[in-house]
Amino acid sequence: DLRYPDRLNCAAHLLDTALAAVGPDRRCLISATETWTYGDLDRRSDQIAEVLTTELGVLPGHRVLICGPNSPWTVACWFGVLKAGAVVVTVVPLLRSEEIATVAEIADVGVALCAPGCDAEAVKADVAGMRVVSVGGSGPDDLVARCARSPQRRFVAVQTSQDDVAMIAFTSGTTGRPKGCMHFHRDVLTIADTFAKHVLKPTADDVFTGSPPLGFTFGLGGLVIFPLAVGASTVLLERGSPEALLAAVEKHGVSVLFTAPTAYRAMLAMLEAAPDGGRDPRLLTLRRCVSAGEALPAETWRAWLAATDIKIIDGIGATELLHIFISAADDDIRPGSTGRPVPGWQAAILDADGHPVPDGEPGLLAVRGPIGCRYLADERQTSYVRHGWNYTGDTYIRDEDGYFWYQARSDDMIISSGYNIAGPEVESALLRHPSVLEAGVVGTPDPDRGQLVTAFVVLRPDTSPGEATVKELQEFVKLRIAPYKYPRVIHFVPALPRTATGKLQRFKLKDLS
C-alpha cells in the first residue's frame, strides 16, 4: 500500500515512526568516532532546522546543498533541511568548485552545508547568493557550533505536502552536464515500501553498512532510508574501501551490506577461508548483500556465494527513479540476471518508438511505477520519459520467464562487422580468467569493421602483461562466448577510470585507445 497522508514530511515521518517503534536510546548512526542514538539524530536535526530557519534565512521550498562524507552530521543535515521544509540538494563529495557552481546554479541553491574539504571548493565556486556554512570544521560560524548555541527546543517540522519536492539528486551520468532529479516527500518513503519491504526485508536488529556515498541515491536509500525505516542501525564509513568494509562488518557485526560489483570482487581477493573451509570469520554476521551501480556478472555472484554462502541481491536503479526497480532475492535469483520488477513497478523491453520487443531479443529497458523522472529544467526530460515510460538508457533482454538480463548501456553497444556486441558480456568473460582483476570493454573506430572490440584489463599483480597473456585471454574469451565477440585489442592498465560512485567511465576508455 503506497498511500501516504496528504500532509507528509518524510524526515519527521521516518524519525517519529522509528522513535515510536524502537525508542530514543536505540543505536542509529555509527561512525569511526561516534555513535548516535535515534534520540540524538532527532535532537540534532531539530537544532539544524532551528539554525537554518532563524539564523540562515531558510524558508520552505528553499534549496540547501549538502556536501559531505558519509557521517552522522551529513545525515543530520539531511533530516534538518527537510524538517525545515526546505529541499535537499545532494551531490557526491569531492566535487570541484566548477562542478559545485554548475549544480548550485541549476538548483538555485541559497545555502550550502559543507564538510571540511568541500567547504573550500564551495567558497571557491563563488556562486552569487549562495552562503557556504561549514559543518564539523571550526569557528563560531560552523553549523555544529551554531547548533550548540541554539535554543535546545523541539522544532515542529514544517507540514509539507506528500508531493512537495523533498530532494534534488544530481546525476552526472558518465558524461554530460549534470541533471537534477526532483523527488517528492512520498518518494522517499516509497523506496522503503517497495524494494526494501519486498526484496531486502530488513529488521530492527539489522546493522547496515556499505560504500556508496550518501549523495548517490543508492547510498542514501541503502545506508539511511532503509535502516531508519525499520529502526535498525547503520555504520557510516568515510572511505568505503573493500578493506574498510570487511573491517566494519567484523567490528560492528554488520548484517546488511550495500556495495558495487567491483568491491565484491576486491573483497573476494582478500577473503580467507575459515580453518573448517567455511565462511571467513570476519563475515559471520552478514546475511544480506546488495549490489547495484553496475551489472553483477554471474561469475562474481557465484564466487561470493561459494566464499560466504550468501546470495547477492542484484538490482538496477536510477537516480531519476530514486532507487532499485528490478531485483531478485533468495531462491528467485537467476545468476547473471538483474531479476524481475520490484512489486509496484512494471518493466518492458521496447524499441525507440515504444513498440514491445519480443522476449529473448535485446531492446531498450522502459519502466514505470510509483516514482517518475522529473528533471529540473532540463530538456533531456523528453528523451527519458516517452510513450508513458521511463527509458533508462540500458539495453536489456527479457526472457520468457520475465527475468531481465542486462546487455549494455544503450550507447555502449559495440557494432563490429555488423554484429551487436555488448561490452559488459565480454567484460564478464574476461573476469572469469583467474589473472584478471578488472576489465572494461569498448568499441574503437576501425576502417574495416566499423568498430573493434577493445579491452582494458587490470591484471593481478603476479601476472606479466606480455603478448602471451593477450593471446591467452583472447583464446579464453573465445571458448566462453561467441568467438566473434572476443577482444581483438587488449591494453593492460593499472586501473580503470570510474566515477565517484564507482561506475566505469567507458567514454574515457575510448579516449585512451
Q: Which residues bind ligand 3SK (CB under 6 A)?
A: 217-218, 292-293, 316-319, 323-324
Closest C-alpha to 364, from 377, 353, 373, 378: 353
- Cβ closest to ligand 3SK, residue 74 vs residue 217: 217
Smallest separation, CB 193 to ligand 3SK (Å): 16
Contact 186, 8 (CB under 8 A): yes
The owner of cell 525507440 is: 352
- Cβ closest to ligand 3SK, residue 9 vs residue 90: 90
Smallest separation, CB 217 to ligand 3SK (Å): 4
Closest C-alpha to 409, from 328, 505, 334, 486: 505
Helix (H, G, I), strand (E, B) or coil at 186: helix
Smallest separation, CB 291 to ligand 3SK (Å): 9
Which whole-number Å values give the CA distances from 70 to 82, 87, 115, 210, 231, in the listed order? 18, 19, 10, 10, 19
- Cβ closest to ligand 3SK, residue 51 vs residue 342: 342
Give the residue nearest to ligand 3SK (CB). Answer: 317
Smallest separation, CB 276 to ligand 3SK (Å): 36
Smallest separation, CB 218 to ligand 3SK (Å): 4
Residue 483 CB partners (closer than 8 Å, separation 6+): none
Closest C-alpha to 283, from 313, 253, 244: 253
- Cβ closest to ligand 3SK, residue 53 vs residue 319: 319
Smallest separation, CB 197 to ligand 3SK (Å): 16
Smallest separation, CB 325 to ligand 3SK (Å): 9
Helix ranges (DSSP H) in 23-115: 38-54, 72-83, 97-107
Closest C-alpha to 76, from 50, 52, 46: 46
Q: How many CA atoms lie within 13 A of 181 on its CB side?
A: 24
Beta strands in 178-319 (DSSP E): 179-184, 207-210, 233-235, 256-259, 288-291, 313-317
Determine the Cα angle at 336 with ends 334 and 339, to 5°: 50
- Cβ closest to ligand 3SK, residue 76 vs residue 365: 365
Beta strands in 138-204 (DSSP E): 165-171, 179-184
Smallest separation, CB 250 to ligand 3SK (Å): 26
- Cβ closest to ligand 3SK, residue 374 vs residue 485: 374
- Cβ closest to ligand 3SK, residue 38 vs residue 405: 405
Query: How far apart are alpha carbons 239 and 111 in whole angstroms?
Result: 26
Query: How far apart are alpha carbons 85 and 102 in whole angstroms?
Result: 24
- Cβ closest to ligand 3SK, residue 66 vs residue 127: 66
